[in-house]
């Protein structure tokens, strides 16, 4: 491949704006507006649904429909309990990691705007060194500077308020993108870039392309489950993140091997339709796009499962972006992998033929 970057200033500005906006599970619509606004020049129309999934459509009249998909939501917390002395206890909204919470600043979303808080933690001097307690969901709490429960309520904070981290996008060593919520705002970004490149390169598809940004993946693939019934696609290529397993404390014998900078990760799993996956890997080989492989037992744990097992079976595949430190506020991906996922989806779309069934029996 030519070494010229396919990402330009406009796309990187969009990525930064899109990442820095909070989009917790169940509250994705502001992020979806940013995403749709960026995609407007490149598509024919939009579909949105009751729970906030957004779909940008090219060739809406076509009978044969191909989905490329990422998910829009990020993990967060809910206020679960307010103590008499004004501290907030939390429950997860998605797979939030209790171990990283202590000493993090948080944004509590109220109807009057953001209220700042901190996850406090007992000072090292006060802890029993012989049996130190680890952070757990039931012992982490947020201090918003209120003296009691009444003051918390006066500040507009109540049970059910959603809580996010304010960490913003930055770049390490020129080519590592770092932020919270790269899982899976990167997916939404990459599929948007595919749409941009199709338009800029004047590529005409002879099928309908449904660029789909699903909500509520982090709590059980729920947005994809809903939107696949609306679209009723023939094919779905899903992109999400997967673990870089080269950092400390990860067992490669159980987690497999993947590394940032080595290319997209193509999944092998029962939900992945093998002829569609073969089209993707053959495209990668033909176009010299580096890729890695991953074996996933039973379920992929991504929206691939929701698409594959819907509508009587939809030929589905998963192309993952390797990522370090998943579900922390310092998730990290390699710019080269981002570009290669975009290229691999783009080139694979150009190989899909209108009406292709991917049947094993012909």
Which residues make up each annotated binding site?
A: 71, 183, 218, 240, 327
Are residues 102 and 135 in contact, defined by beta-carbon separation less than 8 angstroms? yes
With tokens 């406090």, the residue in question is: 120
CB atoms under 10 Å from CB of 301, counted, come to 16
Which of 69, 74, 193, 217 is catalytic? The answer is 217
Closest CA to 156 of 103, 210, 117: 117
Are residues 336 and 3 in contact, defined by beta-carbon separation less than 8 angstroms? no
Record the tokens describing residue 333, joined without a space.
Answer: 């991906």
Q: What's the sign of the alpha-carbon dihedral 29, 32, 36, 37?
A: positive
Record the tokens describing residue 142, joined without a space.
Answer: 């947020």
Could you give the CA distance from residue 37 to residue 182 in angstroms, rounded to a whole number?
20
Tell me the binding residues for Zn(2+).
71, 183, 218, 240, 327
Could you give the CA distance from residue 241 to residue 70 in angstroms, rounded to a whole number?
10
Helices (H), 203-334: 222-231, 252-255, 274-286, 303-308
SS3 content of the chain, % helix, strand, coil (to 5): 30, 25, 45
Nearest-5° angle of CA 297, CA 302, CA 308? Answer: 85
Confirm whether 217 is a catalytic residue: yes
Could you give the CA distance from residue 319 to residue 277 in angstroms, rounded to a whole number?
9
- The residues annotated as belonging to the active site are 217
């Amino acid at each position: 491949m030519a070494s010229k970057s396919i990402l330009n200033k406009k796309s990187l500005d969009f990525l930064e704006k899109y990442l820095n906006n909070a989009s917790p599970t169940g509250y994705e619509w502001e992020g979806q507006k940013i995403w749709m606004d960026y995609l407007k020049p490149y598509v024919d129309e939009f579909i949105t649904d009751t729970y906030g999934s957004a779909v940008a459509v090219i060739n809406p009249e076509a009978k044969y429909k191909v989905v490329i998909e990422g998910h829009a939501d990020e993990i967060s917390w809910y206020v679960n309990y307010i103590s008499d002395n004004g501290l907030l206890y939390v429950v997860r909204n998605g797979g939030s990691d209790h171990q990283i919470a202590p000493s993090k600043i948080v944004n509590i979303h109220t109807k009057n705007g953001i209220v700042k808080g901190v996850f406090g933690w007992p000072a090292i001097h006060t802890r029993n060194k012989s049996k130190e307690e680890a952070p757990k969901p039931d012992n982490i709490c947020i201090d918003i500077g209120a003296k009691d429960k009444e003051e918390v309520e006066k500040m507009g904070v109540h049970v059910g308020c959603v809580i996010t981290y304010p960490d913003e996008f930055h770049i390490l060593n020129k080519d590592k993108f770092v932020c919270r919520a790269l899982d899976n705002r990167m997916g939404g970004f990459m599929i948007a870039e595919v749409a941009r490149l199709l338009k800029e390169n004047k590529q005409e598809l002879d099928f309908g392309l449904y660029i789909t940004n699903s909500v509520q993946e982090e709590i059980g693939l729920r947005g994809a489950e809903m939107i696949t019934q609306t679209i009723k696609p023939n094919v779905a290529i899903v992109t999400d993140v997967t673990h870089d397993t080269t950092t400390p404390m990860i067992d490669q014998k159980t987690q497999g091997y993947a590394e940032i900078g080595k290319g997209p990760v193509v999944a092998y799993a029962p939900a992945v339709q093998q002829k569609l996956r073969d089209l993707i890997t053959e495209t990668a080989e033909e176009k010299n796009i580096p890729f890695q492989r991953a074996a996933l037992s039973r379920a992929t744990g991504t929206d691939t499962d929701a698409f594959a097992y819907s509508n009587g079976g939809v030929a589905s595949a998963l192309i993952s972006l390797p990522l370090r430190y998943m579900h922390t506020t310092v998730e990290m991906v390699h710019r080269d992998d981002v570009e290669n996922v975009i290229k691999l989806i783009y080139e694979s779309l150009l190989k899909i033929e209108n009406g292709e069934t991917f049947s094993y029996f012909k």
